């Protein structure tokens, strides 16, 4: 049995000792992966509820769903999809680099993945939620071009935001503000939209935290060719988050 | 290896001073300690839920309802003017029922038989009266009053002495009655929510499962020990959320949280949100436990132990783990949507915004039907062990029981609609009704296998065996009464009556809780290293059995006769049965108190338990009583099946005391 010896200056991953209740390290790794796959199943089922609500209300109120998805900008959604796909790639690459012992390259890729996640969340909040909820557009918002700026309302926050009269109020449920000629079931569409995308965004943030932890631990030399369970698991989680978005994106943005 | 630091003492061994021990337990990752902590937490919640149940039963003893007394003088027939609307059974002169009529305000009635001049006559529901025509002279028909009655004095026009009977929540005015009903609603919600989410769902897997699953597999611990501790803390957090909603004034939605009621009641209060979040958080704990067990079963079986060498308790906990993992997330998202709905009225379940309250019911039962099998499967697993060990016989139909567990888990996902026959289309209801009968098949397979195992076994009658027999009796009644509920046509009559209440108490209490108590007795010597007083415990078991049946069998009659569930009051016809039921609940209480004192006495002064008091063959009986910290001195090797009583001498037993017939050994050798 090995003990952590202060004179032993091999990196931590080389000195890794598996949990005392496992027979081998390989079994411990398999067990962790099996457990995490089960956890991912629960995540899929959780989103399953949202997809189910989407399907039911879509079949009940096709008009609202048509109008709703036409109010979403597929370009922003598309950019975000690309961001997540790229980050999934860098995540996978970082696992490879850990496996071959190139720790600093792995960390670089991990950090890039986290930044992609941050970009995703920022775009979501800034270019999607804010204008819809309040009517204030970010000045570089690609969707802004379609709308005439309300000069009287002026600019907000050092001129970074522009207000478009009558655009806001696209909120869920009773918070919705009816505009002229809107489908009466729009509040429901926005409920499904916000619940689905915000719970997904929450998962992105949790994923970023997980990967950040892995990044820190990798810096201390915890992971290496011999031991990379944590990286693998963070990777699985990140791919799931990506996968769910791959379903949300066409359902919400593309299908009219 | 620094050998001095590795203690091989019992897991219960003290770690020093009081605080050192508290810290040790609070941070332990030992599945045995976590199992014991779960056991105590669950028993505490069982106590809380039980107190609420007794309060509910006391209210139903003599619920608040109005009885009016009037005074009559002279010889003229007394006529009374009814003030409120009263339902009456009007009979024609020949005695045949005419039709259900409402005696509206102002109708004159006269008590029957009319000739008598009565002093202090009580006009309660059920009183026979004659209805007079407007002139007040002709007797038109005979009527029986139903519901609450109030009467005005024909001379003064004032209300005559009306008294409100009933106790507990009662006091004689309408607001007090409303307040009492309110309290009643909160109490049954509290009872239901605690018993379902905090007691029955985690009961067997999280406590006994946690303790014994790794032992039975010959493992040192569960796959993820720290996750296991986390799940205990999540359980406690969820319980605190739920209980704090009670401290803040209680929730009256019922444990099912049906919308739109649950999204509109107590609109100014955070209580309902707390209760729902509590259930949501408890779901996480359940998922983590299930996940942990599944991986443990897959990866940590002892060398030589194949899938069909596993004890059937492990199979049962494994199957229920699958349901926990697959069904709980759905309730998770449902409760989350419910919280959003309450706070911001997002409209998913709100018809005013285009949402659909029936969608809530679908989501809810998609989880809550499978979860009834999370409740019962581990209980069935315990019963399998109890019956095999205490009749010292190879289990009859090992594979049938194992596959029945998986079968139940599978079928449980496609029958949820049977809770919603009254809110679905006819076609959907018919399909769900047909599917529901599938569940009965694997369930019945198990019952036959247990009875088959008992046949020609050498049965020891002790507390665990007594509980196994009680289970067979009560669970069979519970399962069989599920069939009329699953039958579309009969359920139309029985839905939302006490029949349903009786059914689910027979399966959940008569099933899971009986198995749980039986299991606690069976494994008590192993968990705490002390024997308990067998005679006293058997007395407790008998009291529980009698009390349980007296309490709940009556409720089948109440239900068939139309007593709806979740009401604080009833018409007088139901009172006798309700009184019997309440008496039963106190017999139950007595039984539980006997058990409690037996446990306390055992912990304080029990005889030291041998390692294998019952002669069991599964690995937990190989370990010490109580087991050492890492369970086994040497990793056990699986060399015989879990129920090979005919060919194997149990661990720690002398072959002299357990002679194996030579022909069995020869047969075993030839395999
Ligand atoms: C043979 C097996 C069973 C069948 C066919 C069956 C059928 C049914 C049906 C049709 C209902 C709905 C009745 C109604 O609301 O009108 C029901 C209610 C219920 N059953 Fe079962 N059941 C079975 C076993 C179980 C088991 C094993 C459990 C739990 C351990 C259970 C727990 C419940 C509960 C809690 C309810 C009431 C839920 C509520 O409305 O609050 N059942 N059962
Ligand atoms: Cu059901």
Q: Which of A7, A15, A2 is nearest to A220 (CA)?
A: A15
Out of A14-28, A149-163, B2-16, B555-569, give the one with best mean pLDDT: B555-569
Q: Answer whether residue A140 is part of any domain.
A: yes
Same domain, B261 and B340: yes
Written as six digits, the tokens of B440 are 């009965």
Task: Give the dihedral sign, CA B464/B468/B473/B477.
Answer: positive
| Maximal CA-CA distance, chain B | 105
Choice among B93-107, B281-295, B641-655 with the minimum mean pLDDT = B93-107
At residue B347, the pLDDT reads 86
Q: Answer whether residue B619 is part of any domain.
A: no
At residue B260, the pLDDT reads 85
A134 φ/ψ angles, rounded to the nearest 5 degrees: -115, -20
Q: By the CB < 8 Å criterion, does B630 face chain A?
A: yes
Are A110 and A238 in contact by the 8 Å Cβ rule? The answer is no
CB contact under 8 A, B354 and A185: yes
At residue B362, the pLDDT reads 94
DSSP secondary structure, A196-207, as one string: HHHHHHHHHHHH
Task: Give Rg (Cα) of chain A.
Answer: 23
Q: Answer whether residue A151 is part of any domain.
A: yes
Same domain, B113 and B224: no
Residue B117 lies in domain = 78-172
Same domain, B302 and B327: yes
End-to-end CA distance of chain B: 42
Confidence of residue B635 (pLDDT cuts 50, 70, 90): confident
Are A175 and B344 in contact by the 8 Å Cβ rule? The answer is yes
Which residues of A fall below an 8 Å CB-CB distance to B? 1, 3, 19-22, 27, 30-32, 34-35, 38-39, 41-43, 45-50, 52-53, 56-57, 60-61, 64, 172-175, 184-185, 187-188, 191-192, 194-195, 199
Give B 100-159 residues with CB within 8 A of chain A.
none
Please give the distance, rounded to the nearest whole angstrom, from the Cα atom of residue A223 to the centre of ligand 2: 48
Distance CA B131, CA B138 (A): 8
Strands A161-163 and B65-70: unpaired
- Of A41, A49, A194, nearest to B325 by CB-CB distance is A41
- Of B214, B329, B347, nearest to A174 by CB-CB distance is B347
At residue A47, the pLDDT reads 95
- Of B291, B346, B630, nearest to A39 by CB-CB distance is B291
| Maximal CA-CA distance, chain A | 76
At residue B165, the pLDDT reads 56
Average of pLDDT values for B344-360? 87
Confidence of residue B402 (pLDDT cuts 50, 70, 90): very high
Are B671 and B640 in contact by the 8 Å Cβ rule? The answer is no
Q: Tell me the pLDDT tens digit for each residue of A8-59.
A: 778 888 788 888 888 888 889 999 999 999 999 999 999 999 999 999 999 9
Distance CA A132, CA B536 (A): 69
Reported as half-sphere exposure (CB side, CA atoms, 13 A), residue B268 has a value of: 1
Q: Could you tell which of B365, B471, B507 is best to mutate to test the pocket of ligand 1, judged by most ligand atoms within 8 Å of the CB?
A: B507
Confidence of residue B124 (pLDDT cuts 50, 70, 90): low
The last residue of a domain, from among B113, B143, B172: B172
Are A176 and A169 in contact by the 8 Å Cβ rule? The answer is yes
Distance CA B324, CA B201 (A): 9
Contacts of A174 in chain B (CB under 8 A): 344-347, 353
Q: Which atom of ligand 1 is nearest to the CA of B485?
A: 10
At residue A224, the 3 state secondary structure works out as strand
Reported in sequence order, the residue ranges of chain A that DSSP labels E, i.e. its strands, are 136-138, 155-156, 161-163
Q: Which ligand is nearest to the CA of B504?
A: 1
Confidence of residue B4 (pLDDT cuts 50, 70, 90): very low
Q: Answer whether residue B659 is part of any domain.
A: no
Same domain, B267 and B141: no
Q: Tell me the pLDDT tens digit for each residue of B584-597.
A: 999 999 999 999 99
Choice among B167-171, B212-216, B285-289, B631-635 with the minimum mean pLDDT = B167-171
- How far apart are the CA of A188 and the nearest CA of chain B, in angstroms? 6
The last residue of a domain, from among B135, B156, B172: B172
Flag whether pLDDT at B490 surpasses 70. Answer: yes
Count of structural domains within chain A: 1
Choice among A115-124, B146-155, B180-189, B315-324 with the minimum mean pLDDT = B146-155
Q: Tell me the pLDDT tens digit for each residue of B140-188.
A: 556 666 655 556 655 555 555 555 555 455 455 666 677 778 888 999 9
Cβ–Cβ pairs < 8 A, chains A and B: 127
Q: By the CB < 8 Å criterion, does B628 face chain A?
A: no
Choice among A81-95, A183-197, B87-101, B181-195 with the minimum mean pLDDT = B87-101
Out of B117-121, B405-409, B524-528, give the one with best mean pLDDT: B524-528
Flag whether pLDDT at B83 surpasses 80. Answer: no
Query: Measuring CA to CA, how many Å separate A112 from each of A102, A211, A236, B204, B424?
Result: 16, 10, 17, 46, 51
Same domain, B388 and B330: yes
Domain with residue A94: its CATH number is 1.20.120.80
Q: Tell me the pLDDT tens digit for each residue of B254-268.
A: 999 998 888 888 877
At residue B71, the pLDDT reads 56
Same domain, B132 and B213: no
At residue B100, the 3 state secondary structure works out as strand
Domain with residue B186: its CATH number is 1.20.210.10
Q: Answer whether residue B259 is part of any domain.
A: yes
| Cβ-proximal residues to B641 (8 Å cutoff; 6+ apart), any chain | B309, B394, B398, B617
CB contact under 8 A, A42 and B221: no
Are B446 and B403 in contact by the 8 Å Cβ rule? The answer is no
Same domain, B129 and B263: no
Count of structural domains within chain B: 2
Residue A134 lies in domain = 27-253
Q: Answer whether residue B656 is part of any domain.
A: no
Within 6 A (CB) of ligand 1 lie B 256, 372, 375-376, 418-419, 436, 439-440, 443, 479, 482-483, 485-486, 491, 494-495, 500, 503-504, 507-508, 511-512
Flag whether pLDDT at B198 surpasses 70. Answer: yes
Flag whether pLDDT at A6 surpasses 80. Answer: no
Q: Which atom of ligand 1 is nearest to the CA of B440?
A: 1
Q: Which atom of ligand 1 is nearest to the CA of B254?
A: 41
Distance CA A236, CA B263 (A): 37
Flag whether pLDDT at B15 surpasses 80. Answer: yes
Task: Give Rg (Cα) of chain B.
Answer: 29
| % of chain A at pLDDT higher than 90 | 57
């Amino acid at each position: 049995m090995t003990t952590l010896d202060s004179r032993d200056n091999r990196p931590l991953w080389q000195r890794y000792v598996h949990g005392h209740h496992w027979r081998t390290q390989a079994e411990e790794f398999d067990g962790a992966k099996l457990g995490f796959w089960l956890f991912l199943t629960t995540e899929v089922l959780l989103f399953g509820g949202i997809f189910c609500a989407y399907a039911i209300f879509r079949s009940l109120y096709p008009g609202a769903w048509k109008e709703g998805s036409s109010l979403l900008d597929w370009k922003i959604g598309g950019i975000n999809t690309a961001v997540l796909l790229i980050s999934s790639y860098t995540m996978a690459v970082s696992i490879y680099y850990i496996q071959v012992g190139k720790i600093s390259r792995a960390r670089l890729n991990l950090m890039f993945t986290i930044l992609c996640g941050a970009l995703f969340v920022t775009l979501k909040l800034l270019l999607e939620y804010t204008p819809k909820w309040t009517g204030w557009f970010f000045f570089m918002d690609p969707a802004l071009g379609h709308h005439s700026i309300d000069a009287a309302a002026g600019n907000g926050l050092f001129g970074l935001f522009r207000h478009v009269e009558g655009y806001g109020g696209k909120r869920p449920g009773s918070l919705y503000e009816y505009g002229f000629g809107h489908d009466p079931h729009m509040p429901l569409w926005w409920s499904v939209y916000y619940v689905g995308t915000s719970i997904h965004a929450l998962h992105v943030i949790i994923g970023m935290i997980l990967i950040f932890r892995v990044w820190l631990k990798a810096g201390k030399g915890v992971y290496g060719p011999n031991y990379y369970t944590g990286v693998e698991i963070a990777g699985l989680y990140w791919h799931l988050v990506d996968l769910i978005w791959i379903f949300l994106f066409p359902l919400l943005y593309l299908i009219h | 290896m620094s050998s001095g630091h590795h203690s091989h003492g019992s897991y219960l061994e003290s770690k020093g001073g009081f605080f050192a021990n508290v810290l040790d337990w609070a941070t332990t990752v030992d599945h045995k300690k976590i199992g014991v902590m779960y056991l105590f937490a669950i028993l505490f919640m069982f106590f809380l839920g039980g107190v609420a149940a007794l309060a509910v039963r006391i209210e139903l003893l003599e619920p608040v309802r109005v009885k009016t007394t009037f005074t009559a003088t002279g010889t003229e027939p007394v006529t009374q003017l009814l003030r409120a609307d009263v339902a009456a059974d009007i009979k024609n002169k020949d005695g045949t029922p005419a039709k259900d009529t409402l005696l509206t305000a102002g109708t004159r009635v006269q008590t029957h038989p009319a000739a008598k001049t009565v002093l202090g006559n009580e006009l309660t529901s059920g009183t026979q009266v004659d209805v007079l025509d407007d002139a007040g002279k002709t007797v038109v028909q005979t009527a029986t009053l139903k519901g609450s009655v109030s009467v005005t004095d024909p001379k003064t026009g004032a209300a005559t002495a009306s008294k409100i009977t009933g106790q507990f929540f009662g006091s004689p005015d309408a607001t007090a009655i409303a307040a009492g009903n309110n309290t009643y609603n909160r109490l049954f919600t509290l009872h239901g929510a605690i018993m379902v989410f905090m007691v029955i769902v985690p009961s067997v897997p999280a406590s006994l499962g946690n303790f014994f699953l790794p032992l039975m597999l010959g493992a040192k611990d569960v796959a993820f020990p720290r996750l296991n501790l986390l799940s205990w803390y999540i359980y406690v957090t969820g319980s605190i959320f739920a209980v704090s909603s009670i401290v803040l004034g209680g929730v009256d939605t019922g444990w099912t949280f049906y919308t739109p009621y649950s999204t509109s009641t107590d609109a100014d209060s955070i209580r309902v949100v707390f209760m729902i979040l509590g259930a949501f958080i408890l779901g996480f704990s359940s998922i983590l436990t299930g996940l942990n067990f599944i991986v443990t079963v897959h990866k940590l079986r002892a060398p030589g132990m194949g899938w069909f060498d596993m004890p059937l308790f492990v199979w049962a906990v494994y199957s229920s783990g699958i349901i926990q993992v697959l069904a709980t997330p759905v309730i998770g998202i449902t409760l989350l949507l419910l919280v959003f709905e309450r706070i911001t009225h997002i409209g998913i379940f709100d018809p005013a915004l285009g949402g659909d309250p029936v969608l809530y019911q679908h989501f809810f039962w998609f989880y809550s039907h499978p979860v009834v099998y999370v409740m019962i499967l581990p209980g069935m697993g315990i019963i399998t062990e109890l019956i095999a060990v205490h009749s010292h016989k190879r289990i009859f139909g090992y594979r049938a029981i194992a596959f029945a567990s998986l079968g139940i888990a599978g079928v449980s996902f496609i029958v949820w609609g049977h809770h919603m026959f009254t809110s679905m289309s006819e076609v959907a209801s018919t399909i769900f009704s047909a599917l529901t009968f599938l569940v009965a098949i694997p369930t019945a397979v198990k019952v036959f296998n247990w009875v088959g195992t008992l046949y020609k076994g050498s049965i020891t009658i002790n507390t665990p065996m007594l509980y196994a027999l009680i289970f067979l009796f009560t669970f069979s009644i519970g399962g069989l009464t599920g069939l009329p509920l699953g039958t579309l046509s009969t359920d139309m009559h029985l839905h939302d009556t006490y029949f349903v209440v009786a059914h689910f108490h027979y399966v959940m209490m008569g099933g899971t809780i009986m198995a749980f108590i039986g299991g606690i007795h069976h494994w008590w010597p192993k968990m705490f290293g002390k024997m308990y007083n067998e005679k006293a415990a058997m007395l407790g078991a008998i009291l529980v059995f009698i009390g349980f049946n007296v309490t709940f069998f009556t409720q089948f009659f109440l239900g068939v006769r139309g007593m709806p569930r979740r009401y604080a009051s009833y018409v007088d016809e139901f009172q006798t049965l309700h009184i019997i039921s309440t008496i039963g609940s106190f017999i139950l209480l007595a039984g539980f108190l006997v058990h409690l004192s037996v446990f306390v006495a055992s912990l304080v002064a029990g005889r030291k338990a041998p390692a294998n008091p019952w002669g069991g063959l599964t690995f937990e009986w190989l370990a010490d009583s109580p087991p050492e910290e890492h369970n086994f001195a040497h990793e056990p090797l699986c060399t015989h099946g879990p129920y090979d009583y005919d060919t194997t001498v149990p661990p720690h037993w002398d072959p002299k005391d357990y002679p194996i017939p030579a022909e069995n050994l020869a047969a075993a050798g030839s395999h």
